[in-house]
Structure 1
Amino acid sequence: MRIKWFSGIRVVGLVMVLLYHFYITQFSGGFVGVDVFFTFSGFLITALFIDELQKKGTIDLLGFYRRRLVRIFPPLLLAVLVSMVFTLLVGKDFVADIGKQIAAALGFTTNYFEIANGGSYENNFFPHLFVHTWSLAVEVHFYLIWGLLVSLLGRSISRSDMDERLKLSRFRALISLLSLLFLVITFLTMFLRAFGLAEYSPIYFSSVSHSFPFFIGSFLATLTGVKNVPKNFTRRVAKWSTKQTLIVFFSSMAVLVILGLFLNFTQRFTYLFGFLLASLATAVMIYAARILHEQTPNIQEPKVLTFFADISYGMYLFHWPLFTIFSNKINNNYLAVVLTLVLSIVLAALSYYILEPLVVGKSPKLFDWDLHWNWRYAGIPLAVVGTLLLGTTVTVAAGAPKMTSLEQQLWTSHLQQDEDALRDMRELVDQKKATEYQMKKGVSVIGDSVTLGVRQAILDQITDSRVDAAGGRRLEQANAVMAKQQKKKLLREYVIISCGTNTFSDYEQRIKELINDLEPGHKLIFVTPFDGRADETWDSQKLANFERTLPDKYDFITIADWNKIAAEHMEIFVGSDTTHFAGNPEGEKLYLEMLQKAIAEAKAKPVKSNQD
C-alpha cells in the first residue's frame, strides 16, 4: 500500500541535501535533510512491522533483512563502480586510499571509518568520494538492531493467548515505550557529548548518538501507521479539514527550510536542538501527509513527485561523488550542478526501474508501465559493462596513493618540525640572540594545516623563524602551544598566530585568553583565517572581522589579513579545496609577502609591556 504525499517528504529531504552540497554557504543547514530520511525510515519500517504482525501473526526477520539488502546494496554498488570511472577525470588526490573508502561504503561502516580517521563532514582537504554513505551505515545499523528487537517482541506477543486485537494493541504499546526509551538515550548521548567536544563529527557520524530521529519516526508509527491505523488516528482524520492538514504540512516544511538556512555544522546549537527540531518537524509532516492521504481519495499524487521519490535514494548515492569530481574539473559551479543533476537522475532511474527489478527476478517497470523487453538477451552486454566497471575500479584502487599530495607535504613538515624543536633546545641559552626581555629574537609562528603546508617556505624566507603547526588546530590549542614555548623560553619576540579556520563561536573568549597569556616583551601578529565556502554567518569569518578590531585596542598587535588577500586570489585554490593552497607557488608567495609585510609593520610598534 502506497501512501500518497509521502513522496513529498522524500523529495524535501533530498532537495535539502542537494542544496547543502551544491550551495553550502547559502544553505548551510541542509545536512538535516538526512534527518528527514532517518525519521521517515524509522516511521515506515516500524509501521510495516505492525502491519506484518497484524496480517501474518508474526514477523519474518530474515525476510526483512533480505528485502532491505536487495533494496540498498545494488544501487550502492552501481554508484561506487560508476563513480570510479569518473575519477579518471581528476588527479589522484581524489582517490587517495580509495580502497578503504570503498570497503567501508560497501561494508556499511563509513561512519566509523570517518571517526577512526579523524574525518570531518565539511573539512577534509580532499572530500572523500563516499563520505556521504555514513548515513547509509547508520540506517543499516538501525535496521539490524531495531529489526531484531521488534521481531523478538512480535514473537513473544504472537505466542501469548490474548485476543488478536489485544495482541496488536499490546504490540503497539510495547513498541511505543521501546521507541521512547531509545529516543531519550540516543538523544541524550548527542546532547551531553556536545558539551565536551570541540569537533562534532564523532557524534554526527555515530550510530548511537545520531539514531534518535529513527525512534521519533518509530514512535509516530505506533500513533498512525500505514495499513493498520488506531482508532484515535481515524477520529483525527474526521476532525481535521483538508485546509488544516495542508497548513500543518507546509508549516512543518517551512520549519525545515528555516533550519536549512540558519543551522551550521560547527555550531553547538545544531547538536543540542537542531537535529531534534528537524526530526520533529518531519514527524509532523508525516502525520499530516498520512491524514491527507485519507482526505484525498479521488486525487492522484503527481507522477513527477512519485518519480523523484522513487529515485531519491539513487540520486543521494550518485550526486556526491559526481559533484565532487565535476566541481573540481569544471571552474563553473552552475555547470557542475547541472551535469551532476542530469547524470544522477539518469543513473538513479536506471538503477531503480531496471537494475533493481532484474536483481529480484522481476520485469522492469516504469510507474505502471511494464517494459516488455526480452531481458534474456541483455545478460551478455550487462555482463560486459559490469566487467568493465569492476576492472576500472580495481585498476584505480590499485594505483591510488595512500595519502594526498597535501597530506604527504604536511607529514613531511611534521618530521622537519620535530627536528627544529631539538635545534631550539640546543640554542636555549644563546644570549646573543636575546632581546632585553631575555627571549630569543626572531619569529615564532603557531598555526594550523594552512601554515603547515607552507612551513618550509616560511623557514627559508623569514630569518630566525620557527614554525609549530598542526592540522585542525584551534585557538585554544594554539594558546597551549604558546604557553608551552614560553615555559621553555622558546617563544621568540614576534609571535604569529595563524589559526581560526576551525574556530567555534567562543572565538572572542579564546582570543582574549591568548592575548592575556602572552608574556611581556613580545609583539603579536594575528593571521585572519580564510575558508572559501564561508559567508558572514560562519564563525571563521566572524573571527576575521573581530581580529581586525584588535590593533585599535592593543598597540602591540598587528593583523596579517589573509582573509582579504585570499578572497582576491581564488585562483591559488584551483585543484585543491578552498582553504589549502600548499604546493601552489603563487599561493606561497602571497602568504609569505603578507607575513613579511606584517612583521615590518610590527617592527614600528611597541612590545607588550607589564601594563598591557
Structure 2
Amino acid sequence: MTSPRLSQRGSSSTTRHIASLDALRGLAALSVVLFHVTLIVQQSLDPHWRGIQKLIEMIRLSPLFVMVAGSESVLVFFILSGFVLYLMLSARPLPYALYVRRRLLRLYPPYLVAVLISMALAILLGGHKVAGFGPWINSLWQQPPEAAPFLHHVLVIGNPNAEPYNFVLWSLVQEMQISLIFPLLYGAILRFRPTRVLAGCLVIGLMANAFALLLAHVSPALEQMMIAYLDSFHYLVFFAIGALMARHSTRLGQWYGALSLLSKLLLVVLGLASYTYGHLIIIRLGIASRISDLLVLPGAFMLVLLFSYSASVIEFSRHPSLQFLGRISYSLYLYHGVILLAFLFGLGNRLPLGVLLLLALICIIPLSALAYHLVERPAIAWSRQRAGSGAAAKADTLRS
C-alpha cells in the first residue's frame, strides 16, 4: 500500500518573511541562554550576589524580561515550528514517510550528538555537588546514565525525564512528537475554519492538562510515564497558531497594515504584558499547571507578528549578527546548557561564579557555531536529499 500524500491545496503562504523570523528564532535562543545564566545567578547562595539577584527580580517584573525569557521563548519556537512545517507541507505533495524522514534528519542528528556530549561530560565532570548552589544545579549531572535513561534519550519519543543531563531537551521531545502528528493538524487547517481549529486544539490541551492533574493525584507513576505525551497535546495549539499564520499570511499582513499607530502600540503593550506576566499570574494564584502558557500565547503571537509584518522590525532583523544568530540558533539552544554545566562542575569549586559565567559566555557562541558547521549543516543537507528544491527547500531556512 502506498503512503498517503499531503496536499498543497489551499495554501496562501509565502516565504518572504523567513529571514526576519529566522532572526527572531536567534533572538529567542539568545534569550534562553540569558535566562539560564540569570537562573544560575539566582540559585547562588553567595551573599555577594544578593544585589544582582534583586536586579534580576526587578527585570523579571518589567518589559525587559523579554531579553531573559526562557520558557516563553520556547513557546515562540513552537509557533515558528508550526509556521515552517505548514510551509513545508503546502509547498508540494509529500509522502508521509518522506516528510518524517526530512523532519527527523533535520532535528535528530544534532539532538543525538548533544545528548552524547552532555552524558559524556556528566560522566567526566559530574558526580559531585557544586558548593554554593541550591537544589536545581545539584540535581544535574549527579549520576552516570543508566541503560533506561540512555535508551529514553536515544529514542526521544515519550522520554519521561529529559533534563538531568541537558535541561533543554524536554522541548526537543515535544518538537519531535508534535512533528510526527503535525500532518493531522495540517489536514484540519485545510478543512476547517481557523476558529474551529484553535477551539479544538484548546479543548484537547485543556483535557490533557486535566488528565495530567488527575493522574498526579491518583497515580503519580503513571503520570510520569504519560506526561511527555500529554504535554504534546498541550503545546499543539502553539503549532496551530504558527500554521494558521502561515496559511493566512496575506490576510494577516493586510490586517496588521490597516491598524493605526495607536492600535499597533496597544498591541505591543498588551503583548508584552502577556509575555511578562502570563506565567506569574498563575504562580501567584498558587496553581501548578502548564495552563499558564495560554496566558503567554498572545505575547508570543505578538512577537511573531511584528517580525513578520512590521517594516522597522524586519529592517532590524536583517542585521548580519541577527542572521548569524538565526543560523546557529538550534545549536545555540542545544549546547549552551551543556557549556554552562561543564564550567560549573569542572571549575565551580575553584573559580568565582562571575569568572565562570564570563568564561562560559565567551565560549557559548563560538562552540555553538562550531557545532552548527560540524553537525547541523550536514543534518540539513541529509534532510534535503531527494527532497527537491524550490519552496519546500526555502522553508527549511527557518532552521526549524
Q: 1:107 maps to what in 2?
A: 155
Q: 1:73 maps to what in 2?
A: 108
Q: How does 1:354-373 map to 2 (within 5 A)?
A: 354-359=374-379, 361=381
Kindly indicate whether the alpha-carbon contact (under 8 Å) linking 2:127 and 2:143 is maintained by their aligned counterparts in 1. yes
Q: How does 1:437-586 map to 2 (within 5 A)?
A: none
Q: Which structure has more helix as a fraction of its residues? A: 2
CA distance in 2, matches of 1:335, 1:39: 36
Equivalent of 1:63 in 98, 107, 129 = 98
Structure 2: state its 5+ residue gaps: 1-14, 43-55, 61-68, 129-140, 383-400
- CA drift of 1:113 comes to 4.0
Give the 3 Å change call, closer, same or farther, for CA 3–66 of structure 1 in structure 2: same
Equivalent of 1:146 in 159, 172, 182 = 182
CA distance in 2, matches of 1:299, 1:13: 15
Q: TM-score, normalized by length of structure 2? A: 0.66
Give the 3 Å change call, closer, same or farther, for CA 235–80 of structure 1 in structure 2: closer
Asked if residue 326 in structure 1 is aligned to residue 358 in structure 2, the reply is: no
Asked if residue 83 in structure 1 is aligned to residue 118 in structure 2, the reply is: yes
Q: How does 1:335-374 map to 2 (within 5 A)?
A: 335-359=355-379, 361=381
* DSSP 3-state at the match of 1:129: coil
Q: 2:328 maps to what in 1?
A: 311
**For residue 38 of structure 1, what is the amino acid of its counterpart?**
F
CA distance in 1, matches of 2:152, 2:283: 23
Give a deviation string over 1:477-534, Cα, whole Å, max 9, x none: xxxxxxxxxxxxxxxxxxxxxxxxxxxxxxxxxxxxxxxxxxxxxxxxxxxxxxxxxx
Q: How does 1:172-251 map to 2 (within 5 A)?
A: 173=192, 177-191=196-210, 193-194=212-213, 197=216, 202=224, 205-222=227-244, 224-225=245-246, 229=248, 232-240=251-259, 245=264, 248-249=267-268
- CA drift of 1:220 comes to 4.8
Asked if residue 132 in structure 1 is aligned to residue 179 in structure 2, the reply is: no
CA distance in 1, matches of 2:304, 2:290: 23
- CA drift of 1:248 comes to 3.3
**For residue 96 of structure 2, what is the amino acid of its counterpart?**
L
- CA drift of 1:341 comes to 3.0
Kindly indicate whether the alpha-carbon contact (under 8 Å) linking 1:179 and 1:215 is maintained by their aligned counterparts in 2. yes
Give a deviation string over 1:252-297, Cα, whole Å, max 9, x none: 245424457x47889743526421112232122222322226x888
CA distance in 2, matches of 1:12, 1:338: 20
Residue identity over aligned pairs, in percent, reads 20
Give a deviation string over 1:155-203, Cα, whole Å, max 9, x none: xxxxxxxxxxxxxxx826367634531332113322564487479x959
Q: TM-score, normalized by length of structure 1? A: 0.45
Kindly indicate whether the alpha-carbon contact (under 8 Å) linking 1:111 and 1:138 is maintained by their aligned counterparts in 2. no
Kindly indicate whether the alpha-carbon contact (under 8 Å) linking 2:201 and 2:236 is maintained by their aligned counterparts in 1. no
Structure 1: state its 5+ residue gaps: 115-120, 122-127, 155-169, 363-612
CA distance in 2, matches of 1:182, 1:193: 16
CA distance in 2, matches of 1:270, 1:8: 33
Give a deviation string over 1:86-123, Cα, whole Å, max 9, x none: 44652445362414444322211464246xxxxxx6xx
Kindly indicate whether the alpha-carbon contact (under 8 Å) linking 2:83 and 2:242 is maintained by their aligned counterparts in 1. yes
Q: 2:132 maps to what in 1?
A: none
CA distance in 1, matches of 2:250, 2:381: 39
Give the 3 Å change call, closer, same or farther, for CA 91–283 of structure 1 in structure 2: closer
* DSSP 3-state at the match of 1:65: helix
Kindly indicate whether the alpha-carbon contact (under 8 Å) linking 2:272 and 2:299 is maintained by their aligned counterparts in 1. yes
CA distance in 2, matches of 1:299, 1:23: 26
Asked if residue 269 in structure 1 is aligned to residue 287 in structure 2, the reply is: yes
How many residues matched? 323
CA distance in 1, matches of 2:316, 2:73: 27
**For residue 46 of structure 1, what is the amino acid of its counterpart?**
Y
CA distance in 2, matches of 1:129, 1:275: 25
CA distance in 1, matches of 2:84, 2:251: 19
RMSD between aligned alpha carbons? 3.9
Give the 3 Å change call, closer, same or farther, for CA 133–299 of structure 1 in structure 2: closer
Q: 1:45 maps to what in 2?
A: 85
Equivalent of 1:23 in 38, 42, 59 = 38
Kindly indicate whether the alpha-carbon contact (under 8 Å) linking 2:83 and 2:239 is maintained by their aligned counterparts in 1. yes
Q: 2:190 maps to what in 1?
A: 171
* DSSP 3-state at the match of 1:269: coil
CA distance in 2, matches of 1:250, 1:307: 28
Give a deviation string over 1:418-465, Cα, whole Å, max 9, x none: xxxxxxxxxxxxxxxxxxxxxxxxxxxxxxxxxxxxxxxxxxxxxxxx
**For residue 284 of structure 1, what is the amino acid of its counterpart?**
M
Asked if residue 98 in structure 1 is aligned to residue 145 in structure 2, the reply is: yes
Larger radius of gyration: 1
